Structure 1
Amino acid sequence: MKSNKKLGSYPGILITVSLTVALFLIGFCGWVAFSSKELIKYIKQNIEVQAYLDRNLSESKIDSIYQVIASFPEIEKNGDKSLISFISSKTAAENFLAETNESYEEILGDNPFRDAFNLKVKEELLTDGDLAILKQKIEAVSGVYEADYAKDFVNGITENANKAYLILSAIVLIFLVATILLINNTIKLALYSQRFIIRTMQLVGATNAFIQKPFISKGLLQGFIAGVIASALILITQQLALKQVDGLSLIQNQQMMIYVIIIMLILGPTIGLVSTFQSINKYLNVDLDDLY
C-alpha cells in the first residue's frame, strides 16, 4: 500500500491543470469554428435574389411569372411551398420613405420602384457562378425586367468563409500538437522522480504491465478530469458570451456543441494514456547508468 501510494505521488495536479488549459483552448477554437460556420450559414440563408417585373402587369401575368419561377429547382422550399415573397412597387416606396424620410414624389413625381419577387435560393447554390446562371434563367422569363443579387457580398462571404475555416483548422492543429508535446514533457518530468522506484520494482521481478498499470490509470483519470473541467469551462464561456453578445444565440448549434464536449472528453483520457505509456516505457527500457 505504501509503495503504491509513493508510486503515484508525482505532481498529478500540474498535469491535470496543464491538460485542462490545453483542452480548453482546443475546445474554444472548436466552438468558434462551429459558430463561424453557423454565422456563414445564417447569412447565406438570408441572401435573396430580386426579380424586378415589367410595369403595368396584370395580376394574372404576375401570378404566371410566380408559377414559372417557383418551378425552378434552385428555389428553396418550405415543404411544398417555394420561399418567394412579392413586394409591390407601392410597398417598396413606403419602405423607402420609412427608412430614409425622403419623398421620391417631390423629386421624381412618379413611383420609380417596380413590383418584385424576393427569392430564397438553396444554400448549396449560393455561389457567384450558380447565382449568375439563375439570374439569366429568371431574366429569360416573360414579364421579368431584371434579376439582381448582392454579387460582391456573396463573393466576400465565400472567400472569407474558406479563409476562416483554414485559419481555425490550423490553430486547432497547432494547439493539439502543442498539447501533446506539453503533456509529454510534463509527464516525463513527473516520472523522472520515480525512475529509481521503477528500476527497483524491475529488480524484484515486477512485470512491465504491473509497473505501468498505476501510472496509466492515473494518466487516464487525469485526462478525464481535465476533459470534464475544460468542458465545463467551455459551457460557462458560451453562456457568458450569450448574455453579453446580442444575437449570438442565432448562430449557436447545440448539436455541434455536444460534439465539441464529446471530443474533449475523449481527447483528454487519450492524451493522458498515450503520453503516460510513452514516458513510462522510456524508464522501463533505460540502462542503469542513464538513470543517473
Structure 2
Amino acid sequence: MSNSFENYQKRKLISSYFSVVLSIALVLFLLGILGLLVLNTKKMADRSKEQITVSVFLKEEAKEVEVEQLKKTLVMSDYTKSATYVSKEEAAMAHSAEIGEDFVGYLGYNPLKNSIDVKLNADFVTAEKVAEIADDLSEKSYVDEVSYDKVLVSMVAKSVEKIGFWILVASAIFTFIAVLLINSSIRLSIYSKRFIIKTMQMVGATKTFIRKPFIWQNIKLGMLGALLALVAIGGVIYYVNINFQDLGLLEEPYILIILLVGVFLLGILISLVSTYFATQRFLNLRTDELYY
C-alpha cells in the first residue's frame, strides 16, 4: 500500500514537472519565433528601402575628372550603399530592351544622359533625408538633375514605421501573456506543495531556506524548457534557411546568437521570479487559508 502511494506521488510529481517544462518550452518557442519575425521584418524593410534608386543625371559638358570625383564622394558617403555609373549608351540599351524597340534609331539621336545611380543605406531613406541629399547633389555645377520617386520614399518610410510599431505592440502583449502562462504553471506546481511549505515554516524554517529548493528546482525546469525551445527554434531556422534563402537568416549569426541566449536567460529569469512570488504567497497564508 505504501509503495503504491509513493509511486502515485512520484507519477504526480513527474507529471507536474513535465507540465511546467512543456509550458515553458512552448511559450519560449513562440517568443523566440516572434523575436525572429521582428528581426527579419526589419531586415526585409531595410532591403525594401535599399532598393530605392536616386539617379544623378550629369550635364553633357561634365568633365571626366568631375564625374570620377563625384563617384568617389558618393561611395565614401555614409548614406551610400552603392553608386553605379550608367552611360547614356547603356541607359539607351536598357530602355530599348524594356520597351521592345530601338527608340534611338527611330529618333536619330540618344536623348538620355549619363548618370550615377545611387542606392541609399536604409537609415537614410526618409522623405527629409533623401530630399536633403538630392538638394546637396543638385548644387554641383555639372549635375543636371537629381531624380527619385518621392511618393515611393514617403510610402515605404511610413509603412515601415507602422509595421514596426504594431510588431512592437504585439511583442509586448505576447511577452506579458507568456510571463502569465509560465507563472501560472509554476504556481500550480507549488500549490500542490503548499502544506509542505507551511509545515516547514511551522517547525521554524526561515522563508529563505524554504524558498531556496523551490527556486533552484524551477530554475532547472526553466533551463530544460528553454533548451527544448532552443532546439525547436533551431529546427525552424534551419528549415527556413534551406527553403527561403533570400531571407538570409544566417547572414548575421551574432544576432541569432543574441536571440537564442536571450530566450534561454528569459526562461531562467521568469522561472526564478515566478517561483519567488509563488512561494512567498503561500508563506504568507494562514494555515486555515491553505484549504481554499
CA pair 19-219 structure 1, distance change in 2 beyond 3 A: same
Q: State the partner residue of 1:25.
A: 30
CA pair 205-143 structure 1, distance change in 2 beyond 3 A: closer
Q: CA deviation at 1:91?
A: 0.7
- Give the SS at the match of 2:111: coil
Greater per-residue helix proportion: 2
Among 37, 40, 49, the alignment partner of 2:42 is 37
Distance between the aligned counterparts of 2:179 and 2:274, measured in 1? Answer: 7
* Cα-to-partner distance string for 1:59-108 (whole Å, 9 max, x where unaligned): xx143144256446983489xxx953221111111122334433214643
Q: State the partner residue of 1:54.
A: 59
Which stretch shows the higher mean deviation, 108-117 or 14-23? 108-117
- Give the SS at the match of 1:183: helix
CA pair 277-8 structure 1, distance change in 2 beyond 3 A: farther
Task: Tell me which amino acid in the other structure corresponds to 2:136.
Answer: K
Q: State the partner residue of 1:229.
A: 228
**Does 2:284 match 1:279?**
no
Q: CA deviation at 1:265?
A: 0.9
* Cα-to-partner distance string for 1:87-130 (whole Å, 9 max, x where unaligned): 11111111223344332146434323221112344544322112
- Give the SS at the match of 1:85: strand
Which stretch shows the higher mean deviation, 142-151 or 66-75? 66-75
Task: Tell me which amino acid in the other structure corresponds to 1:114.
Answer: K
CA pair 39-251 structure 1, distance change in 2 beyond 3 A: farther
Q: State the partner residue of 1:290.
A: 289
Kept in 2, the 8 Å contact 1:10–1:190? The answer is no
Q: CA deviation at 1:275?
A: 0.6
Distance between the aligned counterparts of 1:269 and 1:148, measured in 2? Answer: 53
Kept in 1, the 8 Å contact 2:54–2:117? The answer is yes
Q: CA deviation at 1:26?
A: 1.3
Distance between the aligned counterparts of 1:71 and 1:85, measured in 2? Answer: 12
**Does 2:127 match 1:152?**
no
Q: State the partner residue of 2:177.
A: 178
Q: State the partner residue of 2:3.
A: none
Kept in 1, the 8 Å contact 2:27–2:182? The answer is no
- Give the SS at the match of 1:146: strand
Distance between the aligned counterparts of 1:254 and 1:13, measured in 2? Answer: 32
Q: CA deviation at 1:246?
A: 4.2
Q: CA deviation at 1:181?
A: 1.3
**5+ residue gaps in structure 1?**
none
RMSD between aligned residues: 2.8
Q: State the partner residue of 1:256.
A: 255
Q: CA deviation at 1:139?
A: 2.3
TM-score, normalised to structure 2's length? Answer: 0.85
Q: CA deviation at 1:8?
A: 6.0
Distance between the aligned counterparts of 2:13 and 2:83, measured in 1? Answer: 67
Which stretch shows the higher mean deviation, 100-109 or 142-151? 100-109
Q: State the partner residue of 1:209.
A: 208
Task: Tell me which amino acid in the other structure corresponds to 1:33.
Answer: V
Task: Tell me which amino acid in the other structure corresponds to 1:63.
Answer: V
Q: State the partner residue of 1:63.
A: 65
Distance between the aligned counterparts of 1:203 and 1:18, measured in 2? Answer: 32
Task: Tell me which amino acid in the other structure corresponds to 1:226.
Answer: G
Aligned residues: 283
Q: State the partner residue of 2:164.
A: 165
- Give the SS at the match of 2:248: helix
CA pair 129-251 structure 1, distance change in 2 beyond 3 A: farther
- Give the SS at the match of 1:11: helix
Which stretch shows the higher mean deviation, 282-291 or 202-211? 202-211
CA pair 224-234 structure 1, distance change in 2 beyond 3 A: same
* Cα-to-partner distance string for 1:128-160 (whole Å, 9 max, x where unaligned): 112212222322322322111232222222212
Q: State the partner residue of 1:265.
A: 264
Distance between the aligned counterparts of 1:204 and 1:170, measured in 2? Answer: 48
CA pair 28-250 structure 1, distance change in 2 beyond 3 A: closer
Kept in 1, the 8 Å contact 2:241–2:250? The answer is no
Task: Tell me which amino acid in the other structure corresponds to 2:69.
Answer: Q
Kept in 2, the 8 Å contact 1:38–1:253? The answer is no
Distance between the aligned counterparts of 2:110 and 2:241, measured in 1? Answer: 44
